[in-house]
Amino acid sequence: MSSFKVALFTGNYNHIRDGVSLTLNRLVAHLLEDNVDVLVFGPTVDKPALKHNGSFIAVPSRQLPGRPEYRVTTSFPSAQQKELERFDPDIIHIATPDLLGYKALKWAIKRNIPVVSSYHTHFSSYLKYYKLSILEPLMWKYLAWFYEQCKTVFVPSESMIDILESKKIKTDFRIWARGINSSLFNPERRSSEWRKSKGFRDEDVVITFISRLVWEKNLRLFADVVNRLKSNRPHVQAMIVGDGPALDEMKELMPDAIFTGFLSGKELATAYASSDIFMFPSDTETFGNVTLEAMSSGLPCVVADATGSKSLVEHGENGFVVSVERSDKFYTFIDKLITDSDLRKKMGTLGLEMAKSYSWSSVNNSLVENYREVLKENK
């Protein structure tokens, strides 16, 4: 018999392989191992990008205009609601405040079932990439209403709490950080043979970007900075790991870069460890899983001054934190790392030590304890 039951609602669980879907799948696997029953509701596609954990109920969705790889939910039909009623959850966890999340919230309030939420996507920072900044005030008004209906909202960092509170969102915020598999991501994966197989020489300094190739990751800034560095430093090479709708245009912007495509598991870990500098200029992250993976791989990190990344990178210690408006500073700090191998080693070592404090087991154990607190308070 399970200790309690959780119904999880999300805008992405298996149709795209990204930080959100991987985090939620790890959570579900952890809950099942901890004798907690879970039922997941969300959109899907005919050929999902990953094999999901646990029981999953698909809901109607449509392609996001202009971004067909993403899905937006369109309803929460009676058939799926009956599945939820049969499951009879003790707690509702909403990971995406979309239409499905709204319907789940109303369903739970009507039945006096406690609702928690988790903040995975910094929606306001996405709007500028699609010229929709005019919608930001309305978005924050809705999010404030939505999150104030929740018993607890889990966020990945203290800096994210500061931002949400500055937007007048009043609720019980708790930290749900992200973990790292240090047995997979570690400096021992570095391979000179792997580097050679990609066309890198021993003396090359490899600057790496790893993520989905979408423009909101600030790919143009990466291309601009690294291309300028390469023009002055012939031994600088760029490696881009990932796939996405911006791939073809990035190949045009960086014709000399090595594009590995999507990597996972040991090959992904080898790609990290076989790099020399990790640059991640995205300012849309709430945590920055890839930055933590780079740190665990022993790399110095040069990242955007964004909520997630600056919670992991201490400026001048294990890397540099730079405003996305200052491409010149990105250039200066990375050039400093290129020319100073001792500094690269020092910062990489400090990042590795910091990464050791993150483990998925402790992170998700903490979340389960927060679930139990909410259930106790609701009795």
Domain count of the chain? 2
Task: Verify that 299 and 265 share a domain, yes or no.
Answer: yes
pLDDT tens column, 22-62: 999 999 999 999 999 999 999 999 999 899 999 999 999 99
pLDDT value at 266 more than 60: yes
Domain encompassing residue 214: 187-355
Task: Verify that 229 and 272 share a domain, yes or no.
Answer: yes
Task: Verify that 93 and 13 share a domain, yes or no.
Answer: yes
Mean predicted lDDT score pLDDT of the chain: 92
Task: Confirm if 146 and 139 have CB atoms less than 8 A apart.
Answer: no
Q: Which stretches within 261-340 are classed as H helix?
A: 265-273, 289-296, 327-339
CA-nearest of 260, 285, 265, 276 to 210 is 260
Task: Verify that 312 and 371 share a domain, yes or no.
Answer: no
Instruction: Work out the average pLDDT over 209-218.
Output: 92
Whichever domain contains 62, its CATH number is 3.40.50.2000
Instruction: Work out the average pLDDT over 89-95.
Output: 98
Task: Verify that 158 and 199 share a domain, yes or no.
Answer: no
pLDDT tens column, 121-146: 755 555 555 556 666 788 889 999 99
Task: Verify that 191 and 306 share a domain, yes or no.
Answer: yes
pLDDT value at 378 more than 90: no
Task: Confirm if 92 and 150 have CB atoms less than 8 A apart.
Answer: no
**In this structure, which amino acid lies at residue 368?**
V
pLDDT value at 90 more than 70: yes
**In this structure, which amino acid lies at residue 142?**
Y
Q: Tell me how crowded residue 230 is: count the other CB atoms within 10 A of its CB.
A: 17
pLDDT band at 334 (very low <50, low <70, confident <90, very high): very high
Length of the chain: 379
Task: Verify that 103 and 37 share a domain, yes or no.
Answer: yes
pLDDT at 289: 85
| pTM across the whole model | 0.75
CA-nearest of 71, 88, 75, 151 to 118 is 151
Task: Confirm if 78 and 39 have CB atoms less than 8 A apart.
Answer: no
Instruction: Work out the average pLDDT over 187-215.
Output: 96
pLDDT band at 359 (very low <50, low <70, confident <90, very high): confident
C-alpha–C-alpha distance, residues 143 and 277, integer Å: 37
Task: Confirm if 289 and 345 have CB atoms less than 8 A apart.
Answer: no
Task: Verify that 267 and 316 share a domain, yes or no.
Answer: yes
Task: Verify that 227 and 83 share a domain, yes or no.
Answer: no
Task: Verify that 350 and 366 share a domain, yes or no.
Answer: no
Task: Verify that 161 and 227 share a domain, yes or no.
Answer: no
Task: Verify that 66 and 159 share a domain, yes or no.
Answer: yes
C-alpha R_g of the chain: 21
C-alpha–C-alpha distance, residues 280 and 219, integer Å: 9
C-alpha–C-alpha distance, residues 207 and 337, integer Å: 10
